[in-house]
């Protein structure tokens, strides 16, 4: 009886931990992403080791800012989310930006595409996986 309880406990804990890695359907922009990205294959939002830009996040943010075009923003506040998949090979695909300002979203997509750099892929149990990266951008205009 103890062996059965132990087996069931291990089985259910493995199922719980397996679900922790993939929560793509719970993203706020999932309906938009589903139409613009290839999410049929396994895509993870959490991993043992997340995808990493060469030089780290500070380098990514700096290079992203350098590659983003200056645009005329009419609203006082812009919230944009940039989503992209870092493939098992380390290359970025399916860049999608969502937000309140269409020009800003488009400029953010282009800025990520200009950074044609091979990332270190995310891994789960030592194996590379497809990783959905989310990059939030906020802009507040002061007069």
Residue-wise pLDDT tens digits, 50-109: 999 999 989 988 888 888 776 665 666 778 888 889 999 999 988 888 887 788 888 888
Q: Report the chain's C-alpha Rg in angstroms.
A: 18
**Residue 130 to residue 21: CA distance in whole angstroms:** 11
Domain boundaries, the chain: 21-140
pLDDT average, residue stretch 31-36: 73
- For CA atoms 140, 107, 128, 119, the dihedral sign is negative
Instruction: Check residue 15 and give its pLDDT.
Output: 34
- Both structure tokens of 78: 């812009």
> Rounded to an integer, what distance in angstroms lies between the CA atom of residue 3 and that of residue 6?
5
Predicted confidence at residue 142, as pLDDT, reads: 62
Q: Say how many Å lie between the first and final Cα of the chain, rounded.
A: 71
The CA-atom distances, in angstroms, between 29 and each of 22, 33, 83 are: 15, 6, 9
- Check if the beta carbon of residue 98 is closer than 8 Å to that of residue 105: yes
pLDDT (tens digit, 9 = 90+) per residue, 4-28? Answer: 333 333 333 333 333 344 556 667 6
Residue 38: how many CA atoms within 13 Å on its side-chain side? 8
- pTM comes to 0.73
Provide the CATH number for the domain formed by 21-140 in this structure: 3.30.1150
Is the model's pLDDT at 122 over the cut of 90? yes
């Amino acid at each position: 009886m103890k062996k059965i309880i132990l087996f069931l406990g291990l089985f259910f804990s493995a199922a719980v931990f397996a679900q922790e890695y993939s929560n793509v359907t719970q993203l706020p922009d999932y309906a938009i992403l589903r139409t613009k990205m290839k999410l049929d294959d396994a895509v993870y939002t959490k991993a043992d080791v997340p995808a990493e830009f060469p030089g780290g996040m500070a380098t990514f943010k700096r290079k992203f800012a350098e590659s983003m075009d200056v645009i005329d923003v009419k609203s006082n506040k812009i919230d944009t989310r940039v989503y992209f998949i870092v493939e098992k090979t380390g290359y970025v695909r399916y860049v999608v930006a969502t937000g309140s300002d269409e020009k800003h979203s488009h400029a953010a997509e282009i800025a990520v595409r200009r950074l044609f750099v091979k990332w270190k892929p995310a891994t789960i149990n030592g194996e590379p996986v497809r990783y959905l990266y989310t990059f939030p951008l906020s802009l507040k205009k002061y007069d």
